[in-house]
Structure 1
Amino acid sequence: MLSAIALLASGCAGLAGSGPRASSGSLAESVDLSGQTYVVGSKNFDEQILLCQISIAALESVGATVTDRCNVGGSDVTRQALLSGDISLYWEYTGTAWASFLQETRKLPDDEVLRELRARDGAENGVVWLDRAGFDNTYAFVVEGTTATRLGLNTISDMAGYVRSGQPGTVCVETEYHSRADGLRGLQQAYDVEVPRERTSVLEQGLIFQSTADGVCLFGEVAATDGRIPGLGLAVLEDDRGYHITYSAAPTIRQDAFDRAPQIAEAFAPISAALDQRTVQELNGQVSAEGRDAREVARTWLADRGFIG
C-alpha cells in the first residue's frame, strides 16, 4: 500500500513536469524501441531524479512510450517497486546493491562487485544490470572550508580524533546512512570512534549541505557527486582508511522488460560512458544549487551531446 501511494504521488509530480517528447538524435541511429513501453523510476534525491529524466528522454528519443515515476522513495522502496513490477527500470548503485540488497560485507574491486551483481541479481531476482557510468557517488564527510582549515581537519581520521577529544560539534547524517550497516555504525568501527548520541543529528539529505555551511553541523555526511559541495565552499575529508565502498551507478531493468527488447542496452551505453564524475557533479549542481528543473537539465545535456534532437 505504501509503495502504491508513493508511486501515485511521484506519478503526479511527473505529470506536472511533463512536456513534449524528446526527438531523435544519435541514439536513434542504432536503436529503435518503437512499440516498447517502460515505467521509469528513481529514488528521492536530486541525482536520482536527474538520472530518471535522462532515461525518460533517451527512451522517448528512440521511439519508446515512457511513464514517469521519478521520485518513488528511498532505496528499499524503489528496489521493491522494481521487483514487484511497479516500475521497469531505475538507476542503482553498485555499493548499495552489494551491501544492502545482497548483504555482502566483502570488500572487492568494483569490477568484481558488478560481475557478481549481474550474476546473482539476475539469477535470484530477475534484475539485469546494464553498463555502469563513470562516476562514484560514494559517501563523503564535509566541513565548512574555512573551519576545516582553522581546525586542521583533512581526513576522516582527523574527524574521529576531534570527536574523541570531546570538543563541541555535531555530526549530521541522513536517515539511510544512520541505519545502514555500511553507514555510521561501520564507520565508527573502522575509525575506532563512537559518536555520542547527543552529538549526532539525523537530517534530510538536502538539509545537511546548508546546515554544514552555516555551522549548524560541524561534520556533514553527503554524496560525493553533489554539486552543492563546491557551490557552498565545503571541504571533503579524505576517507584515509578506505571505509566507504564504490557506488557506481548503472541502469537496472527487470529481466522481462529487457528480454522484450535487449537493444535497450545500446541506448544506455553511450550515456553511461559520458556520465563521468565532473559531468555529474556539474549537472547535480544545476539542479541542487541553482534550482533548475531536472527535466530541463537532463534534456539540455542530452541535446548538447547530440544524443537527442
Structure 2
Amino acid sequence: MRTIAVVRGGGRGCRVLAAVVAAVIGCAPALSACSASPPRPVPPADLHGARYVVAGGPTDQLVLLCHLAVAVVEAAGAEAAEQCGKLGAADVRSPARSSVDLGWAYVGQADRDLDGEADVPAPFARVAAQDAARGVTWLAPTAFADTDALAVGGPVAAGGMRTVSDLAASPGATICAPPGAVDDPQGLGGVLAVYGLDPARVRPLDPGAVLTETARGRCTAGLVPNTSGRIPALGLVVLVDDRSGFGRGADGTPGPGRGGAAPVLRTPVYAAHPQVAAVLGALTARLTDEVIRELDRRITVEGRDARDVAREWTREAGLTP
C-alpha cells in the first residue's frame, strides 16, 4: 500500500505539489528504464575453460595487437597470461623454448623458417598451408594492409586528388620517399612501374621527414607506412591504390596483396577450442586501415599505454564490456 502525505490548505502551491507527485509516480517505470545499464556485448563464442599465453612484439603495433587479443579472449571467458612485448609468432613456432600459445605475424613478412629474415612474400593461403605442416594455425588476417602507402596533404586531397592514378596524371607532381625506395618492387618501385610514373619525380628524404614535408606541402605525396598514426595526426589523406601497385612480386606480377597481420596459434591449442577463431575473427575484421591508424595515433602521438588503448577501443567497438 502506498501512502501519500496530503498538504492541507489548498491554493496554487498545493495544486503544483499534487501535479509533481502525480508526475513522479506516473513516470517511475520510465525513469527506471532510462537509468538501466546498456546491454553487455555478447562474445561471438564461449571460451570458458580455455587458457592462452599471449605474446606480440617488440614493435608498438604488435604489442597493441597482443593487448587487443588478450582483451577479447578474456571477454569471451578465457584465461589469458599476457606476455606482450615478446616475439609472438616466433615463439609459437618454437614450443621447445617458449610457452607462448597465441601470437601475431604479418602475412607479407612471415619468417616461417625462423632464420631471422622475412621469407619471400606469398598469398595468405600458401603461408597458412606451409605453417600448418609445422603445427601452427593461422587465423583470418586483419582488414588493414601492412604495406606502404602514398599520402597527400589535406589541401591536395580537397583539390580532387584521391587515387594514385590522379597523382600519376598530375603534371609536375612530386613524391617524397626514403632513399632506395624506388628500387623496391613490392613498394614504390612497383608503384612507379604500374602507374607509369617517372622515377625522376621522386625526391629522396629521411624517413622521418617524409610525413612532415608532405603535410607542409613541399611534396605532392609522400611514401609512408600505411598504418602510421601520424597520418591522421598531420591531417594527411592516403591515396587509393586503384591499380594495386603495392605488394607486387619481384617480377612485377601481383603478389600477396594487402597482407595484414594475423593471429597464429599452436595447432593443439587451437584444436582444443576452435571457437577462438570466431572471437579473434570479430577483432581482426574491425581492424581497418583507419582504425589501426587511430589506435597508433593514441599510442605514438599521445604517448598513451598500449594496454589502456586496447581496452578503451574494444569497449568502443562493442567487443568487450
Q: TM-score, normalised by structure 1?
A: 0.64
Q: Which residue of 2 aligns with 1:110?
A: none
1:195 deviation in Å?
3.4
Cα deviation per residue 1:222-253 (whole Å; 9 max; x = unaligned)?
34454533332213233243212223443122
Q: Which residue of 1 aligns with 2:310?
A: 298
1:156 aligns with 2:160: no
Give 1:32's match in structure 2, choosing from 30, 37, 48.
48
Classify 1:272/1:198 alpha carbon distance in 2 versus 1 (closer, same or farther; 3 Å). closer
Give 1:50's match in structure 2, choosing from 64, 70, 80.
64
Secondary structure (helix, strand or coil) at the match of 2:279 reads: helix
**Which stretch of structure 1 is more off in the superposition, 278-287 or 194-203?**
194-203
Distance in 2 (alpha carbons) for counterparts of 1:288 and 1:53? 16
Distance in 1 (alpha carbons) for counterparts of 2:206 and 2:136? 32
Contact persistence 2:153–2:237 (CA under 8 A): yes
Aligned-residue RMSD, C-alpha:
4.1
Distance in 2 (alpha carbons) for counterparts of 1:84 and 1:180? 31
Contact persistence 2:226–2:289 (CA under 8 A): no
Distance in 2 (alpha carbons) for counterparts of 1:263 and 1:180? 40
1:116 aligns with 2:126: yes
Give 1:84's match in structure 2, choosing from 74, 78, 94.
94
The number of residues matched between the two structures is: 262
Cα deviation per residue 1:81-100 (whole Å; 9 max; x = unaligned)?
543355543333444459x6
Q: Which residue of 2 aligns with 1:9?
A: none
Q: Which residue of 1 aligns with 2:119?
A: 101
Cα deviation per residue 1:171-228 (whole Å; 9 max; x = unaligned)?
22499x7785412332333234463699323525xx6433432456653223445453
Distance in 2 (alpha carbons) for counterparts of 1:52 and 1:220? 30
1:294 deviation in Å?
2.0
1:31 deviation in Å?
0.8
For 1:127, give the aligned amino acid.
V
Classify 1:185/1:275 alpha carbon distance in 2 versus 1 (closer, same or farther; 3 Å). closer
For 2:93, give the aligned amino acid.
L
Contact persistence 1:172–1:217 (CA under 8 A): no
Give 1:172's match in structure 2, choosing from 171, 174, 177.
177
Q: Which residue of 2 aligns with 1:191?
A: 195
Higher helix content, 1 or 2: 1
Distance in 1 (alpha carbons) for counterparts of 2:313 and 2:81? 19
Contact persistence 1:44–1:71 (CA under 8 A): no
Classify 1:192/1:97 alpha carbon distance in 2 versus 1 (closer, same or farther; 3 Å). farther
Rg comparison, structure with higher value? 2
Secondary structure (helix, strand or coil) at the match of 1:182 reads: coil
For 1:172, give the aligned amino acid.
A
Give me the identity figure in percent. 30
Distance in 2 (alpha carbons) for counterparts of 1:115 and 1:55? 22
Distance in 1 (alpha carbons) for counterparts of 2:86 and 2:142? 20
Gaps of 5+ in 1: 1-23, 73-77, 105-112
Contact persistence 1:60–1:66 (CA under 8 A): no
Distance in 1 (alpha carbons) for counterparts of 2:127 and 2:226? 22
Contact persistence 2:56–2:65 (CA under 8 A): no
Gaps of 5+ in 2: 1-39, 112-117, 247-256
Classify 1:33/1:170 alpha carbon distance in 2 versus 1 (closer, same or farther; 3 Å). same
Distance in 2 (alpha carbons) for counterparts of 1:180 and 1:26? 45
Contact persistence 2:145–2:226 (CA under 8 A): yes
Q: Which residue of 2 aligns with 1:142?
A: 151
Secondary structure (helix, strand or coil) at the match of 1:303 reads: helix
Distance in 2 (alpha carbons) for counterparts of 1:92 and 1:180? 22
For 1:101, give the aligned amino acid.
D
1:58 deviation in Å?
2.8
Q: TM-score, normalised by structure 2?
A: 0.62
Distance in 1 (alpha carbons) for counterparts of 2:184 and 2:93? 21
Classify 1:68/1:26 alpha carbon distance in 2 versus 1 (closer, same or farther; 3 Å). farther
